[in-house]
Chains A and B, each alone.
Chain A
Amino acid sequence: MTVGAPVVVSGIGTVSAHGVGLDPLESALRAGMPTVQSVDKADGFHPTGSAEFASVIPGDVLKSLLPPRVARRMSPASRMAVGAAMQAVEHSALDVDQLEGPRTAVSLGTAFGTSTFTQNLLQQVAETGPESASPFYFMETVASAHAGQIALALKAKGPNVTVSQREASGLLAVCRGAELIATGAADRVLAGNVDEITPYVHSGLDLFQALARADGDLAERALPFDRRRSGFLAAEGATLLMLEREDLAKARGAAIYARVNSWARGNDPSASAADWGHDAEPLAHRLTERLHQLGAPANSIDRVVSGASGARRGDAMEAATLSAAFRGQAMPEVLAPKASTGEYGGAFLAAAVLSLKGGFWGTGDCAFEADPVFGIELSHGAAMEPVQRTLVTTLAAGGAAAWLVLDRA
């Protein structure tokens, strides 16, 4: 999809285990370190020997996001989403009043929807019968509750969309948000991702051996494109980008953090329901063909912010796709922020926007050891110059793919 009305990113709100706002996230990216907590296994969902850590938001931070009066009828995920949305509004220097009405839309991705309240409701039904089911829990069990709560908080009466496609949910939601502006359906869109990682969700991911494990002296770390990678780090949180029609943003003198050049979507049908596939050449062809059609050919890309997460097959598929897409030319710089942000929770989206300005992203406490099969070297650990154009990528288990091209404003 090419952009009709030009779209820019004029604000970022993010809530993660690192903290609230961009500063803690940037610190984590500079250090190259995740923020993790031990997972509560008291409910007995986890088998012996399962992964120990997740990147979860401490309860006191969650409570501090919104005034109690506002938060009292929200699930944890809705609190994260609305908290991040309010930050994005503030960061964009817009007044809430300016967002009221049918020209403001919401496009939110979520891989898991509302985990806590769905579990609570099911437990009520199982233990004390359906008559005890709580309407309060139920109204937040729908995956679109978080987007609805954002709309309520901002009186945003434009399209209100929730996208759910595993790991691609957030980037697909940003693409959809940009599309809403480009096609004239909205002037501003709060677009991003929210997910919560409950012990149950964590145990489910662990069951598929999707999560990173400690190995001897090697800590339980997500190691994208690393030969020692064993899985990803499950992370919760919310990140919302304020997407805005460029002319409106410029007219109000807004700071512009990125211009959305174009976006593309695809699928690898060789992927199984639970994992990534292997058919990289057609996926790379889809990517390069779409980028070429949209005026952002592969040779114009300066940097790749990859969705590689440390997943064994996922990173292999990502590396093969990138190698095929950039065949015949030098591979652009590659960054893999999910070493710090983890998978899900949307902080990856904020990192992608931040990457345009360059700086320094660290390697953490595990020096990168490239997987020799991939031929991908990460640009972490060295000073990076600002770049003009970044390709943001995400491949999801099950086969879905999303790509976003961001230009420096």
Chain B
Amino acid sequence: MAEPEVVVTGVGAVSPFGWGVDSLWNGLTSFETAICELELFDVTTQRTKVAGAVPDVPPRGLHSGWIAPAKTRVEQFAFGAVGDALAQANLTNHALESSSVGVFWGSSTGGMLEGEDEFLGSTGAGRRARLVRQPIGAAASALARQYRLRGAVETISSACCASTMSVEAAAMSIRSGEHDVVITGGADSLCRVTYSGFNSLRAVSEEAARPFRSERTGLSLGEGAGALVLESRTHAEQRGARILARLSGAASSCDAYHMTAPDPAGEGVLGAMDQAVNSASLQPNQVGAIIAHGTGTPHNDAAESAALARYFGDRASIPPVLAAKGAIGHLLGAAGGIEAVIAVLCLHHGQVPASVGHGELDPEASVPIGFEPGAHQALVYPSVLSINLAFGGANSALLFTALESR
């Protein structure tokens, strides 16, 4: 029996541009950056002072709607994005409770922000409440509790590949027949550990990140969530759902090269891309666009562009590339989730937004980003490859295609 096809029937996002996929898409196509001075916690003694923080986060306990059950900032993002995705998928609570529905979620730091508050002296009253939401898997459990889900609940915490791998795992579970519907993606919030830590590595830019530019000096951190509802195609069609895209390929690999630096040759990410495209029975020249990891660090962008040039034959053959992290920052464990959402939005709009950031393209890391306001690129082939690289050497790739493409 043929494996079920995996399709996307809902997407949701919470990003530094605001709440919802419209805010995200409008922000990405505005050639503006949402990265600005960070006020979430004290950064006065940090080397850098900017980040992509989510605006208009209501005080916990004082909000309504989908995010009402959330107890931490990261859960607020998760609930916001998943609520939107489920609404778009037109899946009611009753349908979720009565079907075989699982959650495969990605997060790198979970409730670390609240854990820091607790650790840094807020003992006594409230300690228990803060501790209980600190585990990395707490958001996935909270989602499953809220929607009364009885399928698998699994959090993948593979740093910056966490939510890309969670989408891959979700797809695997549909293909195997374990689930008809899966909620997937990931969420992370800014916190002191990552902000201080990336600064300690001198990996953070003092201004908004400028991926693939000659004078790039590092990444910008961000926060938010990206959520997708994946279904077997049969299940989606039987209930008359609107199919947004097909998840046609997914793969991951490891550099086994260095704990924080990518393999300069990009062998690992090249392997993941190749497997993802192969599993979709497509050729490299049928890939319409790339959502790059594109952090803006000298090493990442060089390794990634080298891998892209090798994979597509030469730099001139690389399809349009979006480096979204110059606009929204690096969402760490949520990066792959929100970039998967962006890939689906690119398919929907037939367009690849220009990548915000000033300065000339680095000839040593040259990829075809639209690097001027309004220089959005047309999506010639209806397939978008989203790639991520992570601490520990992990790499992952997801290939989304339009339903009619094969």
Interface residues in B240-280 by Cβ distance below 8 A to A read 251-260, 267-268, 271
- CB-CB contacts below 8 Å: A84-132 with B: 102, 105-106, 110-113, 118-119, 121-122, 125-126, 129-131
Contacts of A163 in B (CB 8 A): 154-157
**Contact residues in A for B258 (Cβ distance below 8 Å):** 152
User: Which of chain A's residues has its CB closest to B100's CB?
Assistant: A286
Q: How far is the CA of A290 from the CA of B142 in the complex (A)?
A: 24
**Please, what's the 1-or-0 string for A144-184, where 1 marks a CB less than 8 Å from any CB in chain B?**
11011101101111111111111001001000100100010
**Which one of B19-27, B228-236, B293-301, B391-399 is at the interface?**
B391-399
Residue contact B251 to A148, C-beta cutoff 8 Å: no
For B118-159 the 0/1 string (1 means CB < 8 A from A) is 011100000110011101111011101101111111111111
B172 at the interface (CB under 8 A from A): yes
A400 and B153 contact, Cβ closer than 8 Å, known pairs A161-B165, A273-B138, A273-B142: yes
Does A157 contact B157, Cβ atoms closer than 8 Å? no
Name the interface residues of A241-289: CB closer than 8 Å to any CB of B: 264-269, 271-274, 282-283, 286
The proximity string for B residues 91-113 relative to A, scoring 1 for CB distances below 8 Å and 0 otherwise, is: 00000000000110000101000
CA distance A267 to B103 in the complex (A): 10
Given the complex, which residues of B lie within 8 Å of A122, measured CB to CB? 116, 119-120, 192-193
Report A379-391 CB contacts with B as 1/0, cut-off 8 Å.
Answer: 0000000000000
Does B89 make an interface contact (CB < 8 A)? no
The verdict on A118 contacting B193 (CB below 8 Å), with A131-B47, A142-B108, A160-B392 known, is yes
Q: Are A157 and B165 in contact (CB under 8 A)?
A: no
- Whole-angstrom distance from the CB of A334 to the nearest CB of chain B? 24
Judged by a CB distance under 8 angstroms, whether B77 is at the interface is no
A179: B residues at CB distance < 8 A? 172, 176
B169 at interface (Cβ–Cβ under 8 A)? Answer: yes
CB-CB under 8 A for A148 and B391, given A113-B157, A162-B157, A273-B71:
yes
- Whether B252 pairs with A283 at a CB distance below 8 angstroms is no
Contact of A148 among B47, B142, B176, B254 (CB under 8 A): B254
| Bound Cα distance A148, B102 (Å) | 27
Tally of A-B residue pairs with Cβ under 8 A?
242
Q: Which of B135, B196, B198 is A164 in contact with, Cβ under 8 Å?
A: B135
Docked pose: A300 CA to B176 CA in angstroms:
22
Contact B392 A144 (CB under 8 A): yes
Q: Out of B142, B151, B253, which one reaches A159, CB within 8 Å?
A: B253
Asked if residues A400 and B137 are in contact (CB atoms below 8 Å), the reply is yes
Minimum CB–CB distance for A309 against chain B, Å:
17
Interface assignment of B200: CB less than 8 Å from any CB of chain A: yes
* Residues B201 and A152 in contact, CB atoms below 8 Å apart: no
A184, B132: Cα distance in complex, Å: 37
State whether A106 and B254 are in contact (beta carbons under 8 Å apart), knowing that A152-B393, A273-B71, A286-B150 are contacts in the complex. Answer: yes
A158 to B267, CA, bound (A): 12
User: A398 interface residue, CB < 8 Å from B?
Assistant: yes
With A1-B173, A122-B120, A131-B45: A141-B193 Cβ-Cβ less than 8 Å? yes
Task: Evaluate contact between A207 and B136: CB separation under 8 angstroms.
Answer: no
A324 at the interface (CB under 8 A from B): no
Could you tell me if A142 and B391 are in contact, using CB atoms closer than 8 angstroms? yes
Alpha-carbon distance A200/B120, docked complex (angstroms): 12
Instruction: Say if the beta carbon of A374 comes within 8 Å of chain B.
Output: no
Q: Would you call B46 an interface residue if the criterion is a C-beta within 8 Å of the partner chain's C-beta atoms? A: yes
Is the pair B252, A133 in contact by a Cβ cutoff of 8 Å? no
Closest to A137 in B: B197
Q: Would you call A266 and B201 a contact (CB within 8 A)?
A: no
A166 with B137: CB separation less than 8 A: yes
- Measured in the bound complex, the distance between the Cα atoms of B144 and A282 in whole Å is 14
Complex Cα distance, B317 from A250, in Å, reads 45
Given contacts A106-B254, A179-B172, A273-B142, contact A265 B153 (CB under 8 A): yes
Chain A contacts for B149, CB-based, 8 A: 267, 269
Tell me how many residues of A have a C-beta within 8 Å of chain B. 77
Count of residues in B whose CB is under 8 Å from the partner chain: 76
A265 lies within 8 A of B252 (CB): no
- Chain B interface SS verdict (over half): mixed
**A135: B residues at CB distance < 8 A:** 197, 200-201, 260
- Point out the residues of chain B lying under 8 angstroms from A125, CB to CB: 192-193, 196
- Among B138, B150, B157, contact of A266 (Cβ-Cβ < 8 Å): B150
Residue of B103, B128, B253 most packed against chain A (CB within 10 A)? B253
Whether the Cβ atoms of A148 and B71 lie closer than 8 Å is: no
Shortest Cβ distance from residue B266 to the other chain A in the assembled complex, whole angstroms: 13
Check if A130 sits within 8 Å of B178, measured CB to CB.
no
Measured between beta carbons, the chain B residues less than 8 angstroms from A139 are: 197, 201, 259-260, 391
Task: A154 to B392: give the CA distance in the assembly, Å.
Answer: 13
| Residue A64 lies at the interface, judged by CB distance under 8 Å to chain B | no
Nearest CB in chain A to that of B107: its residue: A164
Nearest A residue to B390 by beta-carbon distance? A144
Contacts of B152 in A (CB 8 A): 265-267, 400
B172→A157 contact, CB < 8 A: no
Tell me if B311 is interfacial: C-beta within 8 Å of chain A.
Answer: no
Question: A336 in the interface, Cβ–Cβ < 8 Å?
Answer: no
Interface contact B199-A208, CB-CB below 8 Å: no
Instruction: Give A residues with C-beta under 8 Å from B.
Output: 1-2, 73, 102, 105-106, 110-113, 118-119, 121-122, 125-126, 129-131, 133-135, 137-145, 147-149, 151-152, 154-166, 169, 172, 176, 179, 183, 185, 200, 204, 207-208, 264-269, 271-274, 282-283, 286, 290, 293, 398-400
Q: What are 7 residue pairs bridging A and B, where the CB atoms are less than 8 Å apart in the complex?
A: A133-B200, A138-B196, A160-B254, A207-B128, A208-B131, A286-B150, A400-B154
Binding site for A on B (CB under 8 A): 43, 45-47, 71, 102-103, 108, 110, 116, 119-121, 127-128, 131-133, 135-138, 140-142, 144-145, 147-159, 162, 165, 169, 172-173, 175-178, 192-193, 195-201, 251-260, 267-268, 271, 390-394
Supplied contacts A148-B393, A161-B252, A398-B135, 15 more A-B pairs, CB within 8 Å? A106-B254, A112-B135, A113-B157, A126-B120, A126-B121, A144-B158, A145-B391, A157-B255, A159-B254, A160-B393, A185-B252, A265-B154, A266-B152, A271-B145, A400-B154
Per CB-CB distance, the 4 closest pairs between chain A and chain B, nearest first, are A148-B392, A138-B197, A265-B152, A398-B141
